Structure 1
C-alpha cells in the first residue's frame, strides 16, 4: 500500500496536469464544507456560488483557458443529504469557473460497480485516492501510479461520466428543502 501523504503535498498536480483532472466524490458530506463560510449562508437559504477571487476558481479558470479540463462526478443519495444539497448549491459556482460537474444517484453508481471512495485522476496516469474518516475529514491521500489502480480509475471515470447528469439539470430535478 502506498504511503499516506497530506493533501497539501499533491496540490501542485492541479496546475501541473497536462490534459484532465477528474474527480469522483462519493461522500455524503465533507467536514471541510461544514467549516466553510458558505455553509452558514447555505443554512440560511442564501444564494452563493462563483467567487472569482477564490484560489480554486482562479486556478480552474487559468487551467481551462489553457485548454485543460476539470471534471467531476458527485454521487448523490435519494433524497440527498444536507452535505450533498450543499454541493449541489455550491457546484454551480465551480461550473461557472470552468469545471464540468455532473451528478449520479448512488444507487446507479452501485449498479455500475463504481468505487466507494473519492479520488482524483490526473491525465489518466496518476490516481490520488482520499482517505476520509467517518466524520468526513480527509486524513490524507495515497498517490497511485500502478497500472491496476490507473486502469480501474479510468474505467470508473468512463462509466460514471457516461451516466452522470450535468449539475444544473440535476439540481432542477432535486426538490428543494430550503
Structure 2
C-alpha cells in the first residue's frame, strides 16, 4: 500500500540504531525545483545555508545518540546536473554518504530503486512518477524482502567509496 512520504517522517527519529538509503535515480524533482539547485546550476557552488537545515539537525541528534545514518548514491558517468548537486550536498552532510558509479552498480546487479531500511527490519520503498516526483512510499517488514535489501545494502556499502573521496577524484571543471 502506498502512503505519503510525510507519514514515515517519524521513522527518521524513532529508529533504534540504523537508517540507510540506496539512491539510484538520475534526478529528483524536489531538487530540480529548489532555489538552492537553481543557484548551484548558476554558480557551480552550493549557496550558504544559514543555521542547520531541519534534516541535518535531526541527523546530528541521531548521531549524538549513537545511531548511524548512511546512504549509497549511484551516480552516472558523466554526472547529471542533479547528481553534481547531490554530490556537493553530500560533502556538507553529517551522514555517511558513499558513491557507486552506475556501471559498477550494474556489475554488482544492484537494483534501480530508492529504498530506506530502518534497523534491518523495516523497508520504505520510494515510488516516483515519470517527472521524478515522489508519489509515496511502500512499507514492508516482509522477512524475505528485508533480507534482500540488507544484502543490497551490504554489497553497496562494501564497494562504494566515500563521497569526499569520489569528489576529489573527479576531473576539475575549468
Which TM class, normalised by the smaller chain length?
over 0.9
User: What is the Cα deviation at residue 24 of structure 1?
Assistant: 0.2
Which of 160, 163, 167 aligns to 1:164? It is 160
Aligned mates of 1:113, 1:49 — CA distance in 2: 38
Determine helix, strand or coil for the equivalent of 1:72: strand
Provide the alpha-carbon RMSD of the alignment: 1.4
Aligned mates of 1:73, 1:158 — CA distance in 2: 10
User: What is the Cα deviation at residue 175 of structure 1?
Assistant: 2.8
User: What is the Cα deviation at residue 134 of structure 1?
Assistant: 2.1
Compute the TM-score of the two structures, normalised by the length of structure 1. 0.92
The answer on whether the counterparts of 2:98 and 2:157 sit within 8 Å (CA) in structure 1 is yes
Question: 1:24 is matched with which residue?
Answer: 22
The answer on whether the counterparts of 2:41 and 2:81 sit within 8 Å (CA) in structure 1 is no
Equivalences for residues 6-85 of structure 1 within 5 A: 6-45=4-43, 46-48=45-47, 52-85=51-84
Q: How many residues align structurally?
A: 173
Structure 1: give runs of 5+ residues left out of the alignment.
none
In structure 2, relative to structure 1, the CA distance for the partners of 1:70 and 1:152 (3 Å cut) is same
1:36-76 Cα distance to aligned partner (Å, 9 max, x none): 22102211223346654311011001000000000000001
User: What is the Cα deviation at residue 172 of structure 1?
Assistant: 1.3
User: What is the Cα deviation at residue 174 of structure 1?
Assistant: 2.0
Question: 1:122 is matched with which residue?
Answer: 118
Compute the TM-score of the two structures, normalised by the length of structure 2. 0.94
User: What is the Cα deviation at residue 115 of structure 1?
Assistant: 1.4
Question: 1:100 is matched with which residue?
Answer: 96
Question: 1:140 is matched with which residue?
Answer: 136
1:73-131 Cα distance to aligned partner (Å, 9 max, x none): 0001111111111101111121xxx2000000011111111111100000000000010
Aligned mates of 1:128, 1:170 — CA distance in 2: 27
The answer on whether the counterparts of 1:49 and 1:93 sit within 8 Å (CA) in structure 2 is no
